[in-house]
Amino acid sequence: MRLELLPRPDPSPVARALAPLAALVVAFLVAGLVVALMGRSPVSAFEVYVLQPLTDPWSLRAMLVKATPLILIAIGLSYCFRAGLWNIGAEGQFIMGGVAGAALALATHGSDPGPWLLPAMMIAGILGGAAWGAIPAFLKVRFGVSEILTSLFLVYIAELFLDWLARGPWRDPAGFNFPQSVVFESAARLPEIPGLDRVHVGVILAVIAVLVTAIVLGRTLFGYRLKLTGDAPRAARFAGFDAKRTTFIVFLISGGLAGLAGIAEVSGQIGRVIPDISPGYGFTAITVAFLGRLNPFGILAAGLVLALTFIGGENAQILLRLPFDLTVAFQGLVLLFVLGADALVSYRVRLVRRVGAKA
Amino acid sequence: MTTFEAILFTIVTASTPLLIAAIGELVAERAGVLNLGVEGMMAMGAVCAFAAAFTFDSTLIGIVMGMVAGGLMAALFALAVLGLAANQVGAGLALTIFGLGLSGLIGAPFVGQTRPRIEEWPIPILSDIPLVGHALFSQDPFVYVAFGLVVGTAYFLARTRAGLRLRSIGENHASAHALGLPVLKMRVMAVIFGGICAGLAGAYLSLVYTRFWAPNMTAGRGWIAVALVVFAAWRPTWALVGALVFGAATVLQLHAQAAQVGLPSQLLAAAPYIATILALVLLSIRRGRAVGAPGSLGTPFVPDR
């Protein structure tokens, strides 16, 4: 018995648009099954994971805050993935952005630096993330080393670097030996959006990134070049598009946006440097990018959906004592199913039995 | 036993899980399938092995369950990338994320438990060889299995008909298909073999290396195994050398941390990852671009009729 794939002559655009939704539904069903196997009620889990956060204003605002890094990073990743490059180290670029921006905040601590500080921190965050993203790009272009492995290993290095900073040079001497820096001054904190309690302006940055990307991809030569490089690398070469330059540009964009997400999180949400500034946003963003079909508005929606899983996961930890790992497993399943669903759109799948397989 | 011999001994132990997982991945990649889910399969192997060994108080049952768990994870991956021709890099990542999450769920009740030590099986005469005898031949059975895997895989790939077929479908799946070779079937088997190896490597971590289970205990070893395959230029014997080098990097940084050499512990802990990146760079400088990579590696195959 085996699966047989028959290419569909013209895949339905409706099916293509609905595939991520179907994948999401199946992932929810499988997660429900897992919860049932753990001896819990899937119905109450669904209530705690999905319905409660969606009906509670505080949770809805928290969802916006969690969606911000996911959307920023995933938008950046969409540039890489569209060009056929696998930047899977956004988590490290996120951390290095946070570190670079925080360095400015801590260096000016107690010196009343003025209004230039916040924009400078954001720019430092972008540069920090872009620099970290430039390493795998450089190693790929110059030495032909796979960007998959180098970008991933750089995550571990960034995590250890941040850990060292928070426990060593940046530790607050008056902090009872807790591994954390001083709390940033208000001049170094991203302000809240007026009228939206606890929601920092990073949300607006994420929306801007979505809109700009929609224009870049839909209306510019660069966007077209990107698509061509990913879909038909040979054709892109013949057209004179420089693959090396494209590699650098997309890694800088995606590293920069991940870095911006990092400093927005540190400055807007956490307010100090701690060893753990991300619950895995950089990896979840890969799922966000694919669930959003690499389309900027799709990513916006997918970012909100996966932010919900973070909020729901925290809820379930408190209310149902379900481990947060359930959320991680769910996110992995969503990615797997989204990729599988793509195949169901492009191919007609038939189950062929051994007997009569000769036909 | 001298200090040198003791360090050598721990290097071999630290290399073993890397080697077992790398051999499995190597076979899958030789068949043309890039499975980046090694970390997730290894995590599942570690937790299922520990849970089963603890529940039934049997190391053997634990090992078997670890291998089964790795194999099942690989089967899920095979269904996605071979059954449905899904993107291999993406699906592998998904498998890793899923495996890390699910292993945390399964392992939660077992945190804080430990398993008894596994007896070493010294091989007479060989273990008396000066300097290296103790490190290589007074080990636990896993180590011998790992050596056996290297020899067996090297022989299988280079000297058997099935090995030749496996390599040919990895080099050029269209030609292999035209010659009538069962491309997808052999790939499924190679991927599941890789999963079983990753599961075994995970079982080694939780049952022998640490003898307890902790969340994320694989700590990137699955990824290092993937890097080892590149490092080894897809050759089993070179995977052995590479695994020993990375085992040495891990052990030596631990010794350096214990000896308080004055460097931050985080820098030392980062050493194996930095070393991996440097090794990948140095090798591609020496060899030129991606020499040795199977031609069809990572590309989905959909047979036309």
- So what's the pLDDT on residue A354? 62
Contacts of A7 in chain B (CB under 8 A): 302
Q: Which residue has the higher pLDDT, B35 or A240?
A: B35
Find, in chain A, the residue whose alpha carbon is nearest to that of B102: A329
Q: Is the pLDDT of residue A357 over 50?
A: no
Contact B277 A154 (CB under 8 A): yes
- So what's the pLDDT on residue A359? 38
Shortest distance between the Cα of B36 and any Cα of chain A, in A, equals: 9
Q: How many CB pairs under 8 A join A and B?
A: 153
Shortest distance between the Cα of A135 and any Cα of chain B, in A, equals: 10
Kind of pairing between the strands at A347-352 and A2-7: antiparallel
Contact A325 B83 (CB under 8 A): no
Q: Which residue has the higher pLDDT, B135 or B240?
A: B240
Question: How far, in Å, CA of B38 to CA of B28, rounded?
Answer: 11
CB-based contacts of A248, cutoff 8 Å, min separation 6 = A134, A137, A138, A141
Question: How far, in Å, CA of A203 to CA of A268, rounded?
Answer: 10
Contacts of A329 in chain B (CB under 8 A): 97-98, 101-102, 104-105
Contact B85 A143 (CB under 8 A): no
Residue B3's pLDDT band (cuts 50, 70, 90): confident
Contacts of A149 in chain B (CB under 8 A): 223, 226-227, 230, 276-277, 280
Shortest distance between the Cα of A343 and any Cα of chain B, in A, equals: 6
Shortest distance between the Cα of A162 and any Cα of chain B, in A, equals: 9
Contact A339 B86 (CB under 8 A): yes
Find, in chain B, the residue whose alpha carbon is nearest to that of A357: B305
Which of A5, A34, A290 lies closest to B85 in CB terms? A5
Q: Model pTM? A: 0.93
Contacts of B288 in chain A (CB under 8 A): 144
Contact A347 B91 (CB under 8 A): no
- So what's the pLDDT on residue B112? 87
Question: How far, in Å, CA of A117 to CA of A98, rounded?
Answer: 15
Which of B94, B230, B267 lies closest to A332 in CB terms? B94
Contact A332 B284 (CB under 8 A): no
A314 C-beta neighbours (distance < 10 Å), count = 17
Contact A145 B280 (CB under 8 A): yes
Question: How far, in Å, CA of A199 to CA of B63, rounded?
Answer: 49
Contacts of B87 in chain A (CB under 8 A): 339, 342
Top CATH class of A2-347 equals mainly alpha
Contact B90 A323 (CB under 8 A): no
What tens digit of pLDDT does each residue of A270-324 get? 999 999 999 999 999 999 999 999 999 999 999 999 999 999 998 888 888 888 8
Q: Is the pLDDT of residue A151 over 50?
A: yes
Contact B215 A154 (CB under 8 A): no
CB-based contacts of A61, cutoff 8 Å, min separation 6 = A196, A197, A198, A199
Which of B101, B185, B289 lies closest to A144 in CB terms? B289
Q: Is the pLDDT of residue A4 over 90?
A: no
pLDDT average, residue stretch A82-87: 91
Find, in chain B, the residue whose alpha carbon is nearest to that of A358: B305
DSSP A179: S
Average pLDDT, chain A: 90
Which of B105, B184, B280 lies closest to A149 in CB terms? B280
Name the token pair of A169. 């040079």
**Structural domains of chain B, with CATH:** 3-112+143-287 (1.10.3470)
Which of B73, B79, B93 would you mutate first to test chain A, the one with the most A CBs within 10 A?
Answer: B93
What tens digit of pLDDT does each residue of B141-194 get? 889 999 999 999 999 999 999 999 999 999 899 888 888 888 889 999 999 999
B254-262 LR contacts (CB < 8 Å, sep 24+): B255/B7
Find, in chain A, the residue whose alpha carbon is nearest to that of B108: A323
ipTM rounded to 2 decimals: 0.91
B126 C-beta neighbours (distance < 10 Å), count = 12
Contacts of B290 in chain A (CB under 8 A): 144, 146
Which of B189, B273, B274 would you mutate first to test chain A, the one with the most A CBs within 10 A?
Answer: B273
Average pLDDT, chain B: 90
Taking every pair of C-alpha atoms in chain A, what is the biggest distance, in angstroms?
Answer: 81
Nearest to A158 by CA among A97, A71, A106: A97
Name the token pair of B224. 């290092």
A21 C-beta neighbours (distance < 10 Å), count = 14
- So what's the pLDDT on residue A196? 82
Question: How far, in Å, CA of B65 to CA of B70, rounded?
Answer: 9
What tens digit of pLDDT does each residue of B241-293 get? 999 998 998 888 888 888 877 788 899 889 889 988 998 898 888 775 455 78
Shortest distance between the Cα of B63 and any Cα of chain A, in A, equals: 23
SS3 string, chain B, reads: CCHHHHHHHHHHHHHHHHHHHHHHHHHHHHCCCCCCCHHHHHHHHHHHHHHHHHHHCCHHHHHHHHHHHHHHHHHHHHHHHHHCCCCHHHHHHHHHHHHHHHHHHHHHHHCCCECCCCCCCCCCCHHHCCCCHHHHHCCCHHHHHHHHHHHHHHHHHHHCHHHHHHHHHHHCHHHHHHCCCCHHHHHHHHHHHHHHHHHHHHHHHHHHHCCECCCCCCCCHHHHHHHHHHHCCCCHHHHHHHHHHHHHHHHHHHHHHHCCCCCCHHHHHHHHHHHHHHHHHHHHHHHCCCCCCCCCCCCCCCCCC
Contact B285 A335 (CB under 8 A): no
- So what's the pLDDT on residue B72? 97
C-alpha distances out from residue B284 to A52, A144, A150, A301, Å: 53, 7, 13, 41
Shortest distance between the Cα of A153 and any Cα of chain B, in A, equals: 6
pLDDT average, residue stretch A105-114: 88
Name the token pair of B114. 């430990």
Shortest distance between the Cα of B127 and any Cα of chain A, in A, equals: 37
Contact B84 A145 (CB under 8 A): no
Contact A152 B270 (CB under 8 A): no
Which of B89, B100, B269 lies closest to A328 in CB terms? B100
pLDDT average, residue stretch A73-89: 94
Q: Which residues pair with B114 in a beta bridge?
A: B212
